[in-house]
Structure 1
């Protein structure tokens, strides 16, 4: 299935919402996002702008969910994708590898006040981000550790959209990110909701991955990309306001509503303080945490202590960037 790309416009395709941000060429890196641009992606777009300044030519396509982004990379329609495709890594013949941890699984179960503990959600419906994604894995591990089984799982990408579903009475339980949890619990509606006590998670929520053969064939461009990401993540750890300062007003983030842009400093301050980002891009520590987490979540087969992180991560670009 082809993916439509129209420069500077939005095109609806059967599998994706496609928005092209750079003129395509033979050397253009095609990036598959797992959602449309939002405040959560502002740091990533700052890194992209830095990479472009160093010679990286790219275009991006926003897919409606992570599964479609993963399949687009496996099929060769896209070069680099967003997600944590551990199950696909084991069952696909394509040698997918992660090259950078974008964010950790810092998510929180939030419910209406009819629930006060995770145990209360036994048999109850829950709203999650995407099938097979990070919140789905959190739900799986909650079931395993707490000894419950959720009822029907429904999927709505974007924590802010799931908050809207809570506020609109269309859901009673969901799992949302740190920023949206903080916004909700600081709002006038805070008394209508509970944040349920949750265990700590250090595994990856979003990571960048690609086919290993493609990575090695495009080593220079991949290195430019990873260098820009690492530099941005390290600068953000020192000063979260750098993201707002470097956001291109004419870019996809700069075109978001002013009320969202006005909160970028607060968003990234909360995220950095909450440990959402690893200033070193994850690396071996994140890889090991991922193997343990996604094994528990049922998305990896085998004993995590016997799995080889190099079957899932390609660490050379990040190692080089760290030097």
Structure 2
């Protein structure tokens, strides 16, 4: 296990990055002769969640084809994005808002595949039964630039303008769940897995606030530097092909994804995990190729531009490349 080199601009934050496995080098996966299929590294925004099951299956499939894959876990999306932009990790995925901000700041990176749609619900103590009722209450989000931050700001502006909760930043749905249970926060958007888990373990203790979220956008993207997408196009194409094939298999039969999710996150009740994976498959929450379509990308840009004033991003071509998805069709 090697230590991951810190990005100079965010050295302090990068200290929180954890290398999960060291199966190969990250100095240009496609040109590495150590494995029959080459090698690459991928930055993952931790911790592992149910939504990552297709990715885990894809990595296994590529390793079976001879690729060596190094998985690098980050606990801060901004640090992850900077590491990918600096070329310290080959591929990465994180929230769409973070990728948009990095691209808008001038980093030479592009998204090439969608990974998730929003699966967040607003969970609150029973006394908070409406958007207006969050006024003055402790409302925790994952990050200001991330999906939960943008969706929450838009929800407050559209549904209950003038409402001013005490906004807190607490990364990770599981950490926000812990805050709710410890009476440290009053409301928070949680992902579907965390909400299903908390409702199963503490039935009736919390409730959903209706009207939150927008499943039509893309919540997170796979991305890489333009230089890596050019120099290691064969590796990126192999990854894209394998991921889309995995999604097709999961949509037809989610059992393998359910099994993998149970393996990855054993602390969650197995029945809960299988229910969540079924919900993800049935509701098309893994956008895959659709995630880089003009319609979905523009909807995503439009949503985030309501809370962030982009200077360089005007349309889909400024954020994504469809080269690899097109070649997989």
Q: Structure 1 length normalisation: TM-score? A: 0.85
Matches within 5 A, 1:22-33: 22-24=23-25, 26=27, 27=29, 28-33=39-44
Structure 2 match to 1:313 = 320
Say whether 1:257 aligns with 2:266.
Answer: yes
Structure-2 separation of matches of 1:88 and 1:149: 30
Cα distance in structure 2, aligned partners of 1:191 and 1:181: 11
- 2:84 equivalent to 1:73: yes
What CA RMSD, in Å, does the superposition of the two structures yield over aligned residues? 2.7
Q: Aligned partners of 1:255 and 1:278: how far apart in 2? A: 22
The answer to whether the 8 Å contact 1:110/1:175 transfers is yes
> Could you say which residue in structure 1 is the equivalent of 2:9?
none
Give me the whole-angstrom Cα distance separating, in 2, the residues matched to 1:30 and 1:299.
Answer: 32
Corresponding residue for residue 142 of structure 2: 129
The structure 2 residue matched to 1:194, chosen from 192, 197, 208, is: 208
1:8 equivalent in structure 2: none
Q: Which runs of 5+ in 1 are unaligned?
A: 6-11
Distance 1:194 1:213, change over 3 A: same
Aligned pair in 2 of structure 1 residues 190, 257: CA closer, same or farther (>3 Å)? same
Q: Does 1:46 align with 2:47?
A: no
Matched, 1:226 2:240: yes
C-alpha contact (below 8 Å) 1:30/1:80 kept by paired residues: yes
1:297 deviates by: 3.0
Describe the superposition over 1:282-320 as per-residue Cα deviations: whole angstroms up to 9, x where unpaired: 221321221111112326358x8xx23111001110111
What is the distance in 1 between the residues matched to 2:254 and 2:133?
37
* CA gap 1:126/1:187 in 2 versus in 1, 3 angstroms: same
Aligned length: 306
Check whether the contact 2:114–2:288 (CA below 8 A) recurs between aligned residues: no
Q: Gaps spanning 5+ residues in structure 2: where?
A: 7-12, 30-38
Give the TM-score, by structure 2 length: 0.83
Equivalent position to 1:145, from 158, 166, 183:
158
